[in-house]
Structure 1
């Protein structure tokens, strides 16, 4: 049961409970799923566990700093953050490190930055600010609806050069979800969403390796040692987990049968070791976080804090869709996209950015509560109903 914040509390402590729970589950699962591959690569079974623990500590420190930043600063500098996001995506194409055919990482000494992760958060910040400036235009004509799509198109183009279709899909869904919540006309939403879906379909069809993922997803057992290998191994992990799982540490698939077991497919190992119950617990925690973000967005809009409301909405949509794609890919429901499980999977850039987004939610909630407390205090001093 989550803690219920008191009426005089200046922030919602249940966000901290959710974060700590997901950090802890992620830390345990990264340790369990990564020990065999860490032993082979680094002669230290706890290599990825230690690195993940360091990233959690670093994420908490950065989130604590972000928590001190007023939302007005996010709003004021949204354009600068967008420029920074575009700059990072250009830099990674010029000097980024290439792994498995994808150029997604900027290496600065011991620090590795996945440029797509901050690009998502900064773009959503810019989009939220745009919704405030041009809300009437978005609601009334196509021009206001198209403008943010041009910016999205520029970012999507840079991401596809990496290539990183998964991030493009997440940004696409979040963008259209936010435009819809902002009041865009339904026919505009449906028509342009249809064009976007056809474009994503074409990108998959005309790219051999992407199309191989699609066909492998549709029938992974047709080529279990080729295009369907990763998915078949993941499905075997889910199958072995049954209701309660095999127990912590007893996964067979993590013995280097399942590639990326501690990153993109950590939920498969969790399913194998903790079963349906374990997966359900993680999904319930994620669902609570998403629902709280969406409810916070609605509350902010009602308080006429439109930027904060749209930003909370975008974070909620982003978290929910990325969770759905990660779990869906490992369970064979959608094609694999290479997206991390928020706050669970190993991945420093993702962990830090997700923690920053969570800190932004706490800050939004704090400012709304503070405004209400100050309004109540001011009303009392003016001789309202206070005695």
Structure 2
């Protein structure tokens, strides 16, 4: 067993493969660089306020980003067959980690959610890993069963059981947003693998029904929905974040107030460097900056999909497309919340928001795309 794993976990012969897609590298560098600058601008005041010095959150962000870059480079040159062969084990390990947060002394509860480990003052959120491991697992399952992808009992139902169990573990951590995102990402993979639209529609309808029930059992989730629909009815409480964010975006105008010159981070929007860092970007860089960042994410998405389509197996196609969709739609979801188009969630903005686990997971996904960009040999037209 040990020798088998060793044989799989090998570095590819770089000389016989093409180099990593240079355009993808440039896009990632731009997103990561702009994200780091934006986080510093959004966090320095709060960092001073909590007596950490102006660079505390910025340095932490750079540390996790640096570690993420190392992981991305390692994944770039690891034989991707390793991840395919051990997909089930990788998913199982991630789910066990998510269950371990409930063990007293190991898990950490913050703001009513039990979803973190904390070691030496560093918090780690294992539910973020499920975005990676479940994508790899489903990609392998759909690849192995591509001849019977619309078989309800042999393919669709087994996949939904795994997805449902993974989502349930995250739900009981009181993390509805990540659970819903994971389930939605799974539906995208079902669609990309060729599952019929009517099946996708039925599953989506059932998912929305379950999501509605989950929302209704927690009063604060209902308040979030109501405050999103009519934030002006409670402008000092449940509607405060949305209204404050919209005001800052409006004040940013076309060209913004200038880097570091925004006011929203100086108290009106607490911890703006977290899920609402895009508000700071909009205020300081204006519509021009907002459009530039959205454009970069769109280009990243299109490049990722282009790389995925040119792979020589369904597994690689689905992994590339899945991770491209995960990063892009998470970014669009965050921006939608900040601009008031979507209900408030706890979904961070990739490359921008403070949060070590999110940065690492994003860079791991990027590493897989780097890896796949070296193997663009066969056009797989029927996957999309």
Please say if residues 246 and 338 of structure 2, whose CA atoms lie closer than 8 Å, have aligned partners that are also in contact: yes
**Inter-partner Cα distance in structure 2 for 1:348 and 1:324:** 20
**Inter-partner Cα distance in structure 2 for 1:228 and 1:44:** 31
Structure 2 residue matching 1:309: 3-state secondary structure: helix
Once the two structures are TM-superposed, the CA of residue 139 in structure 1 deviates from its matched residue by 2.4
1:345 to 334, 353, 357: 353
Structure 1 residue matching 2:278: 3-state secondary structure: helix
For 1:252, the equivalent position in structure 2 comes to 263
Alignment of 1:1-387 (within 5 A): 9-94=18-103, 95-300=106-311, 303=312, 305-368=313-376
TM-score by length of 1: 0.90
Structure 1 residue matching 2:74: 3-state secondary structure: helix
**Inter-partner Cα distance in structure 1 for 2:343 and 2:111:** 18
Please say if residues 142 and 155 of structure 2, whose CA atoms lie closer than 8 Å, have aligned partners that are also in contact: no
**Inter-partner Cα distance in structure 2 for 1:141 and 1:164:** 29
Please say if residues 108 and 117 of structure 2, whose CA atoms lie closer than 8 Å, have aligned partners that are also in contact: yes
**Inter-partner Cα distance in structure 2 for 1:90 and 1:140:** 31
Deviations 1:246-271 (A, max 9, x none): 11111111012112310100001100
**Inter-partner Cα distance in structure 2 for 1:27 and 1:185:** 41
**Inter-partner Cα distance in structure 2 for 1:155 and 1:42:** 39
**Which consecutive unaligned segments of at least 5 residues does structure 1 have?**
1-7, 373-387
Greater than 6 Å deviation, 4+ residue runs: none
Once the two structures are TM-superposed, the CA of residue 325 in structure 1 deviates from its matched residue by 1.0
Once the two structures are TM-superposed, the CA of residue 278 in structure 1 deviates from its matched residue by 0.5
**Inter-partner Cα distance in structure 2 for 1:129 and 1:247:** 47
Distance 1:43 1:86, change over 3 A: closer
Please say if residues 164 and 183 of structure 2, whose CA atoms lie closer than 8 Å, have aligned partners that are also in contact: no
**Inter-partner Cα distance in structure 2 for 1:166 and 1:141:** 27
Once the two structures are TM-superposed, the CA of residue 202 in structure 1 deviates from its matched residue by 2.0
